[in-house]
Amino acid sequence: MISFAECSARERLALLLDARSFHEWIPPSERLTSPHLVQLGVPSAFDDGVAIGRAKLDGHEVFVAAQEGAFMGGGVGEVHGAKLVGMLQRALRDRPAAVLLLAESGGVRLHEANAGLIAVSEVMRAVLDVRAAGIPVVVLIGGANGCFGGMGIVARCADFIVMSDVGRLAMSGPEVIEASHGVEEYDSRDRALVWRTSGGKHRWLTGDCDALVEDDVQAFRAAAMAAIQRSCPVTLEGLEAEHALLETRLHLLPLETDGADAATWLWRELGIDQPERVPELDVGAVRTLRTA
Amino acid sequence: MNWNQLVTQLFGSYHGMRAAGDFLKGDVMFDGRPLTVVGTTNHAPIGVALALAQARVILDTIAQHPGRAILLLIDTQGQQLRRRDETLGINRAMAHLGMCIDLARRRGHPVIGLVYDQALSGGFITSGLIADGCYALPDAEIRVMRIPAMARVTKLSEEVLTALSQSNPVFAPGVGNYVAMGGVRALWEGDLAAALRDALAHTPVEDTRAQDGAERGGRKLAASVVQRVLAAA
């Protein structure tokens, strides 16, 4: 068993995809770097923190991107975002069986603030274009930096999300919330709280991810192979169902939980038996608990 | 400009729009045709509830008024920074709002965004930035994150970031920079009704922001990198 979380972006690609099938576009040898980081005197990377290309998964042609969390937390800058958009536009043109996004990102790369924000928006629109074309977009989340900010929104625009229990999917990181509203609101050093609020088990129990796997590259590979088989078109009926689900959930969690843990409260309301046991259960046991 | 002055200039004194807390909506007449208006005011933080309220208006417009134009009015301090909203999956609620707007576009509803006061990251990416085109008033501001929080995440000092936000278009909050980078199509000045009329008539439905950024010189690499990927062996 090889930990997905501990692999680099390129190691994940090498192990997840069919052996030696990954062909990279604009590889590091082309030295395409961010023009903005240089201005700030911040080190840049020859791939700007993301590898893109084509590959085979179980014999099917897929286009793929893997964000490198070790470089600026996987933050999306101008070049990084444009590489993602280019891969997605190429998918629209060449129609692979699916697109895989190995997401590990804090969202907008703040060092490129405005350019990064527009870039994430372009990625979001491009993902929805690919999905609308009937090409499944599958997001895999299991890196140590999680999937946050604009990339947390992008992930939810995809057809299918695979997460490990150590993966995190959210909007604002705990540090940002703590900086804004204090440690009483969100203690970013309380790891158990952070994982109850944003971790893979929580996202599985609420249906925010579609598959929950162990922190194992081969488990991600197996889940991805299953996920690329089906596309889920966005329809008015589907969005109405999503709206009803989110409205119902909103009313399950009161504004104040009187000191009780909010995630545990929500799990109980979702009908999960003995919700306080969830953090100590293994992935296989948690997988059986989902009620809807 | 406050929202009431804005919609009075756009639609006249009898515009019929209402604010419920921070939430704005209305069915207005513009040039003799009905238009759906939805948005926020008071620099609203966008939490799950406010994202869903906006999504409801978009879904109702798609279902009941096929093809009707939609105007998004943007004034937000960004996503709600609360643990409760994170527990509820605020990223999913915001993606839902964005996907509702995206579906409206794909079904032929012209969708125009207007930043009339301030816009911040999470509240903006699933509203104005996913419209066919986003416009702004000249005094509006667009930011990614407030400087103290940005300093904490980037490890750059507040002094350095403040200095950069005065001069560097990548950091500065003025909407002119967003026009140069292609994120905002144009500023609305003078006759606002004429600007809306023009936007409804001439906003392209495809995403031209990278090319616009290159042509305007504010975001020089995005479009060429996309082309390099498309051409790569």
Q: What is the pLDDT along chain A (292 residues), one digit of tens a residue?
A: 999 999 999 999 999 999 999 999 999 999 999 999 988 888 999 999 999 999 999 999 999 999 999 999 999 999 999 999 999 999 999 999 999 999 999 999 999 989 999 999 999 999 999 999 999 999 999 999 999 999 999 999 999 999 999 999 999 999 989 988 999 999 999 999 999 999 999 999 999 999 999 999 999 999 999 999 999 999 999 999 999 999 999 999 999 888 899 999 999 999 999 999 999 999 999 999 998 6
Which of B46, B65, B170, B228 should we substitute to test contact with A (largest number of A Cβ atoms within 10 Å)?
B170
- Which amino acid belongs to residue A205? L
For residue A203, give the amino acid letter.
R
The structure tokens listed for B183 are 């994120």
Say which amino acid occupies A56: K
- Nearest C-alpha of chain A: how many angstroms from B114? 16
Q: Which residue has the tokens 């490890």?
A: B155
Contact map slice: A 74-93 vs B, CB within 8 A: 78-79, 81-83, 85-87, 89-90, 93
A213/A186 Cα distance (integer angstroms): 27
pLDDT at residue B155, as a whole number: 83
Question: CA-nearest residue of chain B to A202?
Answer: B87
Q: Which of B98, B182, B230 sits opposite A153 (nearest CB)?
A: B98
Closest by CA to B120, choosing from B22, B43, B209, B38, is B43
* pLDDT for position B172: 81
Q: What is the CATH number of the domain that holds B19?
A: 3.90.226.10
Nearest one of A275, A254, A122 to A196, comparing CA atoms: A275
Q: Provide the number of structural domains found in chain B.
A: 1
Give B116-164 pLDDT, tens digit per residue. Answer: 999 998 889 999 999 999 999 999 999 888 788 788 778 888 898 888 8
> Do the chains contact at B103 and A236, CB–CB below 8 Å?
yes
Q: B184 with A147: CB under 8 angstroms?
A: no
Q: What is the dihedral of CA A275, A280, A282, A284, to 10 degrees?
A: -10
> Is B211 part of a structural domain of the chain?
no
Q: Give the pLDDT confidence score for residue A154 in this predicted structure.
A: 98
Does residue B134 fall inside a structural domain?
A: yes
- Using the beta-carbon criterion (under 8 Å), do A116 and B52 form an inter-chain contact? no
Residue whose entry in the numeric block shows the structure tokens 């750059």: B156
Residue B69 forms contact with A (CB below 8 Å): no
Domain residue spans of chain A:
9-169+209-231
Note if the pTM is more than 0.90: yes
pLDDT of B204: 96
| Nearest CB neighbour to B144, from listed A36, A108, A253 | A108
Using the Cβ of A255 and the Cβ atoms of chain B, whether some distance falls under 8 Å is answered with: yes
B163-192 as b/e: b if 16+ CB within 10 A: ebbeebbbbbbbbebbbbbbbbbbbbeeeb
Question: Chain B contacts of A189, Cβ < 8 Å?
Answer: none
Are B98 and A181 a contacting pair at CB < 8 A?
Answer: no
Residue B31 belongs to domain spanning:
3-203
Which structure tokens are listed for B174?
């003025």
Q: Which residues of A101-129 are buried (b: 16+ CB within 10 A; e: fewer)?
A: bbbbbbbbbbbbbbbbbbbbbbbbbbbbb
Q: Is B118 on the interface with A (CB under 8 A)?
A: no
Taking only residues 164 to 183 of chain B, the set having a beta carbon closer than 8 angstroms to any beta carbon of chain A reads: 164, 168-172, 177-178, 181-183
Class of domain A9-169+209-231: alpha beta
Among A44, A48, A117, which would you mutate to test the B interface (most chain B Cβ atoms within 10 Å of its Cβ)?
Answer: A117
Any domain includes B214: no
> Is position B177 within any domain?
yes
**Chain-chain contact of A243 with B55 (C-beta, under 8 angstroms):** yes
Note the pLDDT tens digit of each residue in B19-65. 999 999 999 999 999 999 999 999 999 999 999 999 999 999 999 99
Shortest distance, CA A168 to any CA of chain B (angstroms): 11
In this predicted structure, the answer to whether residue B167 has a pLDDT above a threshold of 80 is no
Instruction: Tell me whether residue B197 is in a domain.
Output: yes
Q: Report the residue of B144, B155, B211 to disrupt the A interface, i.e. the one with the largest count of A CBs within 10 Å.
A: B144
Q: Is B143 on the interface with A (CB under 8 A)?
A: yes
In chain B, % of residues over pLDDT 70: 100
Q: How far is B181 from chain A (nearest CA, A)?
A: 7
Residues 205-234 of A with CB under 8 A from B: 206, 208, 234
- Element containing residue A212 per DSSP (H, E): strand A211-213
Contacts of B230 in chain A (CB under 8 A): 86, 89-90, 93
Q: Which residues of A touch B94 (CB under 8 A)?
A: 153, 156, 171
